[in-house]
């Protein structure tokens, strides 16, 4: 069952999000239980439930929206619905828009009917008040019933942007920092159907006490960090290029299209030898899937966090690559698995061997003891990291689920017990080691499955070492609970709403705009710029395959995601039209024969990368997203100048003047020549400096 028990209180008696309490029966034999939902990417681990007698409890603060949830025991991905809630809903499969939705128990949170009961501003939350490049941004969040708002800070200011969300509206005010004193006070006027009241420190009223803030306490950045608007290139290392055949694994795949599971032979020297390709493309940061020793070709089952897999090269090879990247002004981001280790990791092997007498026993969540005697043979295989032999052993003995929590019940990926503080100390040292080796950040695998308080502590510890070190989380659905735990996340949210709307036609453009605005309004601007915006990754179908080879659609998607705020990311091969289906076919080897490249697609990527790097408004500008005529997506970016992108998702041509006033603007990009925007076409305009 769930109950909405009220709303989070703020200073002065104001109210914020809704407090939702979840409760269910404790499952017999379970050691741990978890609350799972679209708010945890449908994955257990982030929200552990507490036990009170025979009941499990958890709570969240949520904004209005439609949610789905269930409960799991000991991270079994096969959860169970809420027995006390008969309502079931199917919500989108954010990571895989081409697949059916996901069903769960329905949770619906709506704003109060009285519009003046739902007005929110939290000066301590950077999503509502932050600074960026000489500006201070104020946001006010309301229900749809509030139709006008103004900011009173010395004088009255009208909102620069008004964003429509699914159940709410956000008014955004952007003031030059120099216009405000070292200590400034402000309040808002809000109107609904002609009735106007004010909102200040104590909430809504006729004569309100202003909110008083010291400018030095306003969070944000004056100079954007490197990851706040950068261009990524993701490499699945084994599939990129084999630069050193002497370190090849003994067995390699023979079928590459469609790709098989198994080693192809890509390595660090291969990346080094192909750096010119990335430099010519215009890439600024490279993200590598795991490079650590492991027992598989994908290397997400790590056996040593401080070294390099022998089939990829050596630490010396790694150092050579880092130096070469520095010479080309590129940064390096490594994938890291903080959710689980590999079964070959010596900590896990010792825990299996010595059981509760091992200091590493409490590093993992064992649900029972290893089968006595039987597992001796398995230990030998794990010490040798013979993954194939270990799998055969498991099958031959008829074992089903592991006797420890793991990633999707995978025997090779035992889950780390994040309640053990030693794990935090260790992984801080891991981060420190790779920082010294020249790494600029980590992409955290399965971040949505890591305990919330551990993630928070890890973020603080790493940032205490280096504020510029990026922490980029894998979060696959409703990512808005994760803002304080990481700098950025993989933007599957944006990818879903673009592909499901433009390509698959599963949603209206209006729905997509509301969901994109929900994302923009839920984070401070500098964090929005940090979002890893992509149309594909090593876990999804290739974008050219999804659009069925339609290059008109592919160009439209590329234009949109290079214009929206965030950091555009290219999955290796997408830039030359590489195709591929589900895992592992989405990891086909990169073809290096230019005659196999789709040069039309390659030129499109190069054009938009150059445009992004040459127009400051695209890299760092404030953003507004709206809809015109029902089928035209309008994206406005604003800094010193205004930039307007018009993207026609409909089936008839559009006159740009229908959707924007363009006096003083010049066209800087267009899908086709001519004055109109054709179906699935676009035009982008930039305000002239004289205007």
Give the separation between CA 629 and CA 632, rounded to whole angstroms. Answer: 6
Superfamily of domain 232-341+417-616: Glycosidases (3.20.20.80)
Section 322-334 average pLDDT? 98
Query: What would the pLDDT profile of 163-181 be if each residue is shown by its tens digit?
Result: 999 999 999 999 999 999 9
Element (H, E) at 396: helix 387-396
Neighbours of 468 (CB within 10 A): 14
Is 445 labeled as catalytic in the residue annotation? Answer: yes
Section 438-455 average pLDDT? 98
Residue 356 banded pLDDT, cuts 50, 70, 90: very high
CATH architecture of 115-221: Sandwich (2.60)
Find where tokens 């200040």 sit. 200
> One of 23, 82, 452, 474 is an active-site residue; which one?
474
Provide the pLDDT for residue 231: 98
User: Is a pLDDT exceeding 70 seen at residue 437?
Assistant: yes
> One of 445, 452, 477, 487 is an active-site residue; which one?
445
Query: What would the pLDDT profile of 119-151 be if each residue is shown by its tens digit?
Result: 999 999 999 999 999 999 999 999 999 999 999
The residues near 577 (Cβ < 8 Å, ≥ 6 apart) are: 544, 597, 598, 601, 602
Residue 690 banded pLDDT, cuts 50, 70, 90: low
Query: What would the pLDDT profile of 408-430 be if each residue is shown by its tens digit?
Result: 999 999 999 999 999 999 999 99
Residue 667 banded pLDDT, cuts 50, 70, 90: very high
Q: Reply yes or no: is the peptide bond before residue 258 cis, omega within 30 of 0.
A: yes
Q: Identify the three-state secondary structure at position 642.
A: strand
- DSSP string covering 24-87, please? EEPPTT-S-EEEEEGGGTT-TTSEEPEEETTEEEEEEEE-SEEEEEEEEETT-SS-B--TT---
How high does pLDDT run on average in the chain?
Answer: 97
On the CB side of 290, CA atoms within 13 Å amount to 25
Ordered strands of the 15-25 beta sheet: 2-9, 15-25, 55-62, 50-52
Query: What would the pLDDT profile of 620-632 be if each residue is shown by its tens digit?
Result: 999 999 999 999 9
Phi-psi region of 24 (alpha: psi -120 to 50; beta: other; left: phi over 0): beta
Section 373-387 average pLDDT? 89
Residue 377 banded pLDDT, cuts 50, 70, 90: confident
Which of 141, 162, 139 lies closest to 513, judged by CA? 162
Query: What would the pLDDT profile of 391-403 be if each residue is shown by its tens digit?
Result: 999 999 888 889 9
- Decide whether 2-109 matches 115-221 in CATH topology: yes
Provide the pLDDT for residue 58: 98
- Residues making up the chain, counted from first to last: 691
Is 514 labeled as catalytic in the residue annotation? Answer: no
User: Is a pLDDT exceeding 90 seen at residue 493?
Assistant: yes
Residue 20 banded pLDDT, cuts 50, 70, 90: very high
Strands 331-336 and 441-444: parallel
8 A C-beta contact, residue 661 and residue 685 = no
8 A C-beta contact, residue 190 and residue 196 = yes
8 A C-beta contact, residue 472 and residue 444 = yes
User: Is a pLDDT exceeding 70 seen at residue 691?
Assistant: no
Give the separation between CA 284 and CA 292, rounded to whole angstroms. Answer: 23
Domain ranges for the chain, please list them: 2-109, 115-221, 232-341+417-616, 346-409
Which of 561, 562, 492, 480 lies closest to 527, judged by CA? 480
Provide the pLDDT for residue 76: 76
Provide the pLDDT for residue 689: 76
CATH code 1.20.1250.20 for 2-109: no
Find where tokens 């020549």 sit. 673
Which of 631, 609, 626 lies closest to 678, judged by CA? 631
CATH architecture of 346-409: Alpha-Beta Complex (3.90)
Strands 488-489 and 470-473: parallel
Dihedral over Cα of 464, 467, 468, 472: its sign: positive
CA 390, 395, 397: angle at the middle one, nearest 5?
Answer: 95
């Amino acid at each position: 069952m769930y109950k909405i028990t009220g709303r989070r209180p703020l200073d002065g008696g104001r109210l914020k999000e809704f407090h939702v309490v979840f409760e269910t029966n404790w499952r017999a034999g379970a050691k741990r239980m978890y609350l799972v939902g679209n708010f945890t990417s449908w994955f257990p681990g982030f929200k552990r439930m507490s036990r009170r007698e025979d009941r499990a409890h958890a709570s969240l603060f949520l904004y209005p929206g439609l949610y789905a949830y269930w409960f799991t025991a000991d991270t079994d991905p096969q959860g169970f619905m809420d027995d006390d809630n008969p309502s079931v809903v199917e919500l989108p499969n954010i990571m895989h828009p081409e697949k059916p939705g996901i069903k769960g128990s329905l949770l619906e949170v709506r704003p109060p009917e009285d519009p003046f009961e739902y007005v929110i501003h939290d000066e301590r939350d950077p999503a509502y008040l932050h600074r960026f490049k000489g500006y201070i941004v104020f946001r006010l969040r309301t229900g749809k019933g509030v139709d006008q708002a103004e900011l009173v800070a010395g004088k009255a200011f009208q909102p620069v942007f008004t964003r429509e969300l699914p159940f709410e509206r956000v008014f955004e005010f952007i003031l030059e920092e120099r216009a405000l004193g070292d200590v400034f006070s402000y309040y808002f006027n809000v109107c609904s159907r002609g009735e106007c009241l004010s909102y200040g420190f104590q909430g809504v009223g006729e004569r309100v006490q202003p909110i008083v803030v010291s400018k030095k306490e306003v969070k944000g950045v004056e100079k954007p960090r490197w990851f706040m608007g950068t261009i990524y290139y993701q490499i699945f290392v084994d599939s990129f290029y084999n630069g050193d055949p002497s370190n090849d694994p003994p067995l390699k795949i023979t079928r590459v299209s469609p790709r098989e599971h198994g080693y192809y032979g890509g390595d660090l020297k291969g990346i080094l030898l192909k750096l010119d390709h990335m430099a010519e493309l215009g890439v600024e940061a490279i993200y590598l899937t795991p490079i650590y020793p492991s027992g598989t070709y994908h290397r997400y089952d790590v056996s040593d966090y401080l070294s390099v897999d022998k089939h990829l090269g050596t630490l010396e090879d790694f150092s050579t690559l880092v130096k070469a990247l520095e010479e080309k002004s590129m940064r390096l981001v490594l994938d890291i698995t903080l959710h689980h280790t590999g079964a070959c990791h010596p900590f896990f092997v010792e825990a299996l061997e010595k059981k509760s007498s091992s200091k590493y026993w409490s590093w993992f969540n064992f649900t029972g003891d290893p089968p006595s005697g039987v597992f001796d043979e398995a230990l030998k295989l794990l010490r040798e990291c013979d993954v194939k032999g270990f799998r055969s052993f498991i099958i031959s003995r008829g074992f089903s689920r592991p006797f420890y929590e793991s990633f999707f019940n995978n025997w090779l990926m035992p889950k780390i017990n994040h309640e053990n503080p030693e794990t935090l100390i260790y992984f801080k040292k891991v981060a420190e080691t790779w920082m010294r080796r020249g790494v600029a950040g980590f992409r955290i695998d399965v971040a949505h499955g890591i305990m919330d308080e551990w993630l928070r502590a890890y973020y603080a510890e790493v940032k205490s070492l280096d504020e510029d070190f990026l922490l980029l989380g894998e979060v696959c659905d409703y990512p808005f609970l994760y803002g304080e735990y990481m700098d950025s996340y993989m933007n599957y949210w944006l990818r879903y709403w673009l592909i499901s709307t433009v390509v698959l036609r599963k949603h209206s453009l209006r729905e997509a705009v509301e969901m994109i605005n929900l994302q923009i309004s839920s984070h401070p601007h500098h964090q929005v710029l940090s979002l890893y915006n992509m149309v594909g990754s090593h876990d999804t179908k290739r974008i050219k395959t999804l659009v069925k080879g339609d290059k008109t659609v592919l160009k439209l998607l590329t234009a949109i995601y290079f214009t929206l705020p965030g950091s555009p990311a290219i999955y290796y091969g997408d830039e030359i039209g590489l195709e591929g289906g589900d895992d592992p076919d989405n990891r086909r080897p990169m073809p290096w024969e230019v005659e196999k490249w789709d040069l039309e697609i390659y030129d499109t990527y190069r054009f938009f990368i150059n445009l992004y790097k040459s127009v400051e408004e695209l890299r760092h500008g404030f953003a507004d997203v709206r809809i015109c005529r029902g089928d035209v997506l309008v994206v406005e970016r604003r800094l010193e100048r205004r930039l307007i992108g018009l993207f026609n998702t409909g089936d008839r041509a559009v006159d740009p003047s229908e959707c924007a006033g363009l006096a003083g603007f010049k066209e800087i990009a267009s899908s086709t020549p001519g004055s109109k925007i054709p179906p699935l076409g676009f035009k982008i305009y930039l305000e002239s400096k004289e205007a």
